[in-house]
Amino acid sequence: MRYSGLVTTRAKAPEKYELFYWPSIQGRGEFVRLALEEAGQRYTDVARLSKKDGGGIDALLAILNGSSPKAKGKLRPFAPPVLRVGPLLVAQTANILQVIAPRLGLVPDDEASRVAAHQLQLTITDFVQEVHDTHHPVSTSLYYEDQKREAKLNAKGFIATRIPKFLGYFESILEANKRGKRRFVLGASLSYVDMSLFQVIEGLRYAFPKAMKRIEKKIPRVIAVRELVAGRPCIAAYLASPRRIPFNEDGIFRNYPELDG
Amino acid sequence: MRYSGLVTTRAKAPEKYELFYWPSIQGRGEFVRLALEEAGQRYTDVARLSKKDGGGIDALLAILNGSSPKAKGKLRPFAPPVLRVGPLLVAQTANILQVIAPRLGLVPDDEASRVAAHQLQLTITDFVQEVHDTHHPVSTSLYYEDQKREAKLNAKGFIATRIPKFLGYFESILEANKRGKRRFVLGASLSYVDMSLFQVIEGLRYAFPKAMKRIEKKIPRVIAVRELVAGRPCIAAYLASPRRIPFNEDGIFRNYPELDG
């Protein structure tokens, strides 16, 4: 059984990276931004450019509706984030990460590691959807205020069972990695999954600060990964820069105190 | 930029395929079953074997909690379906399909096609979660009967906007494929995404028969894919066999007439 991954080596020639995502939230695009930032990869966050520089929401919409010349002949994405890299126009967060990680050195070369990394990223994808459901359980087309009762019910179960189950799962994965001193999710080497786990912890701390204070005591290895990622020079610089959009109540992780059991 | 995919050729030696999934529902496992069936690949649906043959729910749980010898040294999956193939133990439906499709000849060889196929499959994954939310919007830990009011509200919006948006998206993809007479999702060649789109139509017809009767008029190309897949000899044989578990009210697609607007 032969394996060589999507791309096994870093691209020799510098590729151009263009991210298309909502300009005012971290959202799902943040998982892509963190990988690019950790790798020190230059990229354009297109919708955050001014309209006269070819940016703004219009630039994002033109990719989504296929009217942009950059979308010509490409599969039209269903939703953002979308990343343009080399000849590819890629959508779906986990798919984007899987495509860029080998180019950026953020995943090991062997098939088992790559399949495992993607599997974990898709588990994070599912969890992020559950986070979103805490404030919009009934419908995304209704206001939060119109589903607050159901949101409270949803968030209660989410805090009591889902956060512990999900973070406990990653804690057990880290516990099983007996190799080396530095305990990353895939074992000895840092990967994009560590970046994403960091982002989940940051988001949960923002959305559910009271609950997380209790829960974090039981997941020391996950928190250690969070510290390792936060301390990476490129990530630290990014978090201190204006490129990091603050959390807010339009994103996935929202601080509604009434949901923080 | 070099590319060769997860595996570019069919495995020379026959690999053993073992699926671990809930034995009494189609669920997410069905997307894997359909790909294996179309390829005529022999596989064991482990939890459907009798307990004395090493099957049953216990066999599934042993993979999930890591106590099975088959899980030794492998990444523990968060949830089923899980597929054991060669040295790999793979979870997450779209991840499984991505790993097996090149082995089974169910995706083209080039990077752009594979990335596109996976992107579309992940879009289907998101939609399938929305289908599940129609009957369990508030919480999966509550009975349907205890969230019926919210389920009706959710299903109303789902039928009015989400089904048309999602199926309309695939219709537009098929419309953009001007190549060849046989119109598959990736263009000229059949892929696992066509199998999954077939399954989505079957499920929606079961869950929302009244709504689908109206909606299907606007998506002739999607329905044509459904017909092409249903007519594939291996799929036709599978659907007529006892291996195809009937839809039921424990699965993702549930027929609750009060939700079919």
Element (DSSP H or E) covering residue A85: strand A82-85
Give Cα B37 distance to the centre of its chain.
12
Spatial neighbors of B12 by CB under 8 A, at least 6 apart, are none
Quote the pLDDT of residue A10: 46
Residue in A3, A9, A141 nearest the CB of B161: A141
| Pick from A1, A90, A138: CB nearest B119 | A90
A236 has a chain B CB within 8 A of its CB: no
| Maximum Cα–Cα distance across chain A | 54
pLDDT bin (cut points 50, 70, 90) of residue A141 is: confident
- Closest residue in chain A to residue B14, using alpha carbons only: A1
Please, which pLDDT band fits residue A9 given cuts at 50, 70 and 90?
Answer: very low
Q: Does A90 contact B7 at a Cβ distance shorter than 8 Å?
A: no
ipTM confidence:
0.94
Q: What is the mean pLDDT of residues A20-37?
A: 98
Integer Cα distance of A89 and A105 in angstroms: 20
- Name the pLDDT band for B4 (thresholds 50, 70, 90): very low
Q: What is the mean pLDDT of residues A106-119?
A: 95
Please name which of A10, A156, A65 lies closest in space to residue B2, comparing C-alpha atoms. A10
Backbone angles phi, psi at A44, to 5 degrees: -110, 125
Q: Of chain B residues 161-180, which have a CB less than 8 A from chain A?
A: 161, 166, 169, 172-173, 176
Domain membership of residue A256 (yes or no) is no
Whether residue A200 is contained in a domain is answered as yes
Mean pLDDT of chain A: 92
pLDDT digits 0-9 by tens, A86-97: 899 999 999 999
The mean predicted confidence, pLDDT, of chain B is: 92
Q: pLDDT tens for residues B142-171?
A: 899 999 999 999 999 999 999 999 999 999
Min Cα separation B124/chain A (Å): 10
Can you give the residue range of the structural domain that contains A140?
111-232
Query: Closest by alpha carbon to B247, among B37, B82, B24?
Result: B24
Contacts of B78 in chain A (CB under 8 A): 123, 126, 166, 169
Does some domain include residue B11? no
Contact B173 A76 (CB under 8 A): yes
Over residues B126-141, the pLDDT tens digits come to 999 999 999 999 988 8
Q: What pLDDT score does B140 carry?
A: 86
A93: in domain? no
Contact B76, B91 (CB under 8 A): no
Q: Residue B246: inside a domain, yes or no?
A: no
Question: B180: pLDDT confidence band, cut at 50, 70 and 90?
Answer: low
Q: Is the pLDDT of residue B8 over 60?
A: no
pLDDT(A47) > 80: yes
Quote the Cα angle for A113-A186-A165, to 5°. 115
> Would A118 be classed as within a structural domain?
yes
Query: Chain A: residue nearest B168 by CA?
Result: A78
| Total count of domains within chain B | 1
For chain B, say whether A122 makes contact (Cβ under 8 Å): yes
CATH of the domain at A119: 1.20.1050.10
Whether residue B188 has pLDDT greater than 90? no
CA nearest B200: which of B173, B163, B232? B163
In a domain? residue A104: no
Range of weakest confidence among A160-174, B79-93, B181-195? B181-195
Tell me, yes or no, whether A250 lies in a domain: no
Q: What is the pLDDT of residues A230-260, one digit of tens each?
A: 999 999 999 999 999 999 999 999 999 999 9
